[in-house]
Amino acid sequence: MRRPIVFIFLSYVFGIVIQHFILQDGFSLIIFASLIVAVSIIVRLLKFKINQSSIAVLFLLINLFGCLSYYVAENSQDPLVEDIGKHCYVEGRVITVQIKDKEYWQMLITSENGGKRLIQVKGSSIKPQDMIGKRTRVLGEVLLPNESRNPGLFNYRLYLKTIGVRIIIKANAENIVFYCENKSILFSNIAAMKYGFLNRLEKVMEPETFGIMTGMLFGDRSLIGDNTYSMFQRNGIAHILSVSGIHVGIIYMFISRLFGSRKTKSFYLLSVVFLILYAALAEFSPSVVRAVIMIFIYIFSKISYHRYDFMSCTAFGAFVMLIFNPFYLFHIGFQLSYLAVFCLASALPWVNRKLDILNQKSNSNVKDILIEGPRYIAPLLVIQIGMAPLTAYMFNYFSIASFFINIPVIAISGILIPLGVALMPLSFFEGVGPVGLMFGVLAELAELLINGMTWLNELFYLPGLGFFNVTSPYIFFMLLFYGFFFYLSSELFRIQYQRKKYKVIALICAVFIIISFLALAMIGTEHHKAELVFVDVGQGDCLHIRTPGGKNILIDGGGSPNNAVGEKILLPYLLKNHVSSIDLAVVTHLHDDHYLGIAELSNKMEIRKLGIYEAYRHKEHLIMDDTGLKKQDLLYLKKGDRIEIEKGIRLDVLYPEKKSDEMYQKFLLDEHDENNNSLLIKLYYHGLSVLLTGDIGLEGEQKIMNLYRENESSLNADILKVAHHGSRYSTGDRFLDAVNPNIVVFQVGKNNFGHPHPAIIDKCLKKDIIVYRNDQDGAIILQEEGEKWQIETMLRKSMRIK
């Protein structure tokens, strides 16, 4: 077998994926292991060709090893997990520190059992170099990291597992003590070197350029503004701000040029030491570790006179990292870094062969332009093409600009990164003689280069032209694309094609298609077809309705002046779940926690119609300015209106009534009155009814009850979205009895208002009503199953109702 390490790596990865997405528990793993053993025995008993049966059995056993490794890692617990919610003392050594702002910072510590804990601290901090390497004792609240609160969105708990953290400690700065005794000399000296350099560099650079330089050298993006980073990301060059293989490769090339063409063992030893030091300065990010491992293997091959195979080396590096921590497979940096290198290792030889063939056919006059030019840019183009589906899947954008801007930006980085490395030793002589003068001059040169890169970034930032938002591709498409990408560019395919083994080629392609379909059926867990989702937008309301005909409706959209809910929660939630536009958004009233998210979303995604209470005609221009919508896109609603969405699906507006313009003007001046005039909407969805109440209080409920005195059954609903996030001044007994729900949903997040009030929750429980709430359950998801509905939450509670 050629490249056996690639086969071993893929088998191991397959095992991790099966355990994470399909098996998940110990009993399923036992069944799967039994099946593997049984299949292995049958394969041997049937006496297939030795080579074939050996490969099949080996694949199954390595696959099982991957399952077992992930299961053991998943079920390893931090001893503090038994103290969740309690205040405890923890001790450990500080290994990294990240300053978020003046009053919030966090540090990563290693505990006595070798595990890691993340300490999130409120209060002023001391300098990072005065903490790193020291032992610390912390009193704080023990917490589990948050899981994904909405379908398809970021899973913080899984991310922390990729860096070895299972427990968070929330503490105040005054409850932290550092000990100078027995401190780590290595960690302390590295921190002193790094932060001493940064402190001196900060004095001679503008804040924005200093933040970019810090990101490029050490991967710390905390000093880069959100708008600037977003521009880098949308242009497809954000990788330059996270230390990656490109950075390590540039540094290794710099060292090679510095010491000339002669490569002795001393040179290689010095390179190893320097790269380990740089990896430590970059806090051993997965992409850096990957690049360093690959260079170490390259160095070993040179010293031992063995052939260096790029693909095998990449697979070995990934396999070693996954053996140490199977969760690495779900780290974005690991995925992006290794996929880029695998794409390069697989497709670049094919591209170079094609260029060689073209070279032989061309005359010398056009050779340099047509052949050698593309040969230089081919690696970047291969990476861009290969990474496009994964980038779309993870970040929901496709950047055309990246195909053009990456070339000059990487060229600039090829100067900037070595320049930054050279500035480190020079910084110790800041202000001292000619060497100190040289530090200032080179820092100004670095700033000039960063300004040039920023100018390019702004030049190529063209929303809708240079980049555009896209929905996450289905897992079927992802597997199919990468299966064919790697297979069709491989030597195996070339040999099979040359030998005219078309049946084998067709069989392999069929296997890719079958596996892709199976993966879509078995691990398509994003709830992307859910009919109703009470989206967790924090302290706010939002219901997403999806119809069989493909229409998407939002009732409210949350919102907060301190958090761009529309851009940071709604937009990624919709794109992750394959929604590219909203057919109708209805806002119950214009308070921020219902309307602001919709207004922000409308500037990022098409909203075809916006439904609002008729009184808001008097704010028409303000609404159009906020949303970018036109007058004909606004739909004014009042009691008695009905919106037919599809057969069996409609929205009925039950309240408020049509009033005079004078009454509308009066109500718009009174915030309390605006709450009590929230649109009361009843959703009918194939026999299921949901009553949506906005922020209606007891006074508004009384008006509603008076309106429906003769026909209270009109208010009946299977599900009640509790008014005003569970305020004690809403959801009276009479109103609750009239609605008579089976389920109530509190759309609520962290707040200072006491929402939801315990009395409202008790009232519902005493009436045997099932209670769901976003702050504890995350998103509440309803999926139709014939005459029944399955109700799930993102935080692992589920049931079925008829």
What interhelical angle do 185-204 and 402-427 show, nearest 10? 110
Question: Are 527 and 562 spatial neighbours (Cβ–Cβ below 8 Å)?
Answer: no
Residue 39 has pLDDT above 70, yes or no: yes
Q: What is the pLDDT of residue 377?
A: 80
Residue 448 has pLDDT above 70, yes or no: yes
Spacing of C-alpha 496 from chain mean position: 39
Other C-beta atoms closer than 10 Å to the C-beta of 664 total 18
Higher-confidence residue: 140 or 674? Answer: 140
The closest alpha carbon to 217, from 157, 278, 159, belongs to 278
388-392 long-range Cβ contacts below 8 angstroms, 24+ apart: 389/473, 389/477, 389/478, 389/481, 389/482, 390/335, 390/336, 390/339, 390/478, 391/236, 392/470, 392/472, 392/473
Residue 356 has pLDDT above 90, yes or no: no
Residue 726 has pLDDT above 90, yes or no: yes
Question: Are 211 and 453 spatial neighbours (Cβ–Cβ below 8 Å)?
Answer: no
- Residue 190 sits at φ, ψ, to 5 deg, of -65, -40
Q: What is the pLDDT of residue 267?
A: 82
- CA 349 – CA 355 distance, rounded (Å): 10
762-769 long-range Cβ contacts below 8 angstroms, 24+ apart: 763/731, 763/733, 763/736, 764/722, 764/736, 767/736, 769/741, 769/742, 769/743, 769/744
The closest alpha carbon to 518, from 17, 154, 94, 26, belongs to 17
What's the predicted TM-score (pTM) here?
0.90
Residues 235-245 have a mean pLDDT of 84
The mean of the pLDDT values for the chain is 89
Percent of the chain beyond pLDDT 70?
95
Ranked by mean pLDDT, the top range of 184-198, 336-350, 715-729 is: 715-729
The closest alpha carbon to 524, from 16, 155, 70, 21, belongs to 21
- CA 96 – CA 188 distance, rounded (Å): 10
Ranked by mean pLDDT, the top range of 112-126, 543-557, 668-682 is: 543-557
| Burial of 362 from C-beta contacts in 10 A (0-12 / 13-18 / 19+) | middle
What DSSP assignment string belongs to 343-403?
HHHHHHHHHHHHHHHHHHHS-HHHHIIIIIHHHHHHHHHHHHHHHHHHHHHHH-EEESTHH
Q: What is the pLDDT of residue 362?
A: 64
| Burial of 430 from C-beta contacts in 10 A (0-12 / 13-18 / 19+) | buried
Tell which phi-psi region holds residue 219, choosing left (phi > 0), alpha (psi between -120 and 50) or beta.
left
Question: For residue 338, how many C-alpha atoms fall within 13 Å in the half-sphere facing its CB?
Answer: 29
Cα-Cα-Cα-Cα torsion 576, 580, 585, 589, nearest 10 degrees, comes to 50
DSSP code, position 19: I
SS (H, E, C) 431-462: CCHHHHHHHHHHHHHHHHHHHHHHHHHHHHCC
Question: Are 665 and 617 spatial neighbours (Cβ–Cβ below 8 Å)?
Answer: no
- CA 224 – CA 386 distance, rounded (Å): 28
Residues 280-286 have a mean pLDDT of 81
- CA 296 – CA 275 distance, rounded (Å): 9
Report helix, strand or coil for 738.
Answer: helix
CA distances from 739 to 2, 664, 727 (A): 69, 28, 17
DSSP code, position 567: I
Q: What is the pLDDT of residue 48?
A: 57
Q: What is the per-residue pLDDT across 191-230, written as a single tens digit (0 to 9) for each?
A: 888 998 999 999 889 999 999 999 999 888 888 888 899 8
Q: What is the pLDDT of residue 351?
A: 84
Beta bridge partners of 533: 544, 781
Question: Are 682 and 711 spatial neighbours (Cβ–Cβ below 8 Å)?
Answer: no
Residues 298-327 have a mean pLDDT of 87
Residue 178 has pLDDT above 80, yes or no: yes
- CA 89 – CA 497 distance, rounded (Å): 65
Question: Are 117 and 82 spatial neighbours (Cβ–Cβ below 8 Å)?
Answer: no
Ranked by mean pLDDT, the top range of 325-329, 372-376, 433-437 is: 325-329
Ranked by mean pLDDT, the top range of 180-194, 208-222, 532-546 is: 532-546
Residue 89 has pLDDT above 90, yes or no: yes
Query: 591: pLDDT confidence band, cut at 50, 70 and 90?
Result: very high
- CA 801 – CA 790 distance, rounded (Å): 7
Question: Are 138 and 89 spatial neighbours (Cβ–Cβ below 8 Å)?
Answer: yes
Query: 654: pLDDT confidence band, cut at 50, 70 and 90?
Result: very high
Q: Is beta strand 634-637 parallel, antiparallel or unpaired with respect to 610-613?
A: parallel
Residue for token digits 């077998």?
A: 1
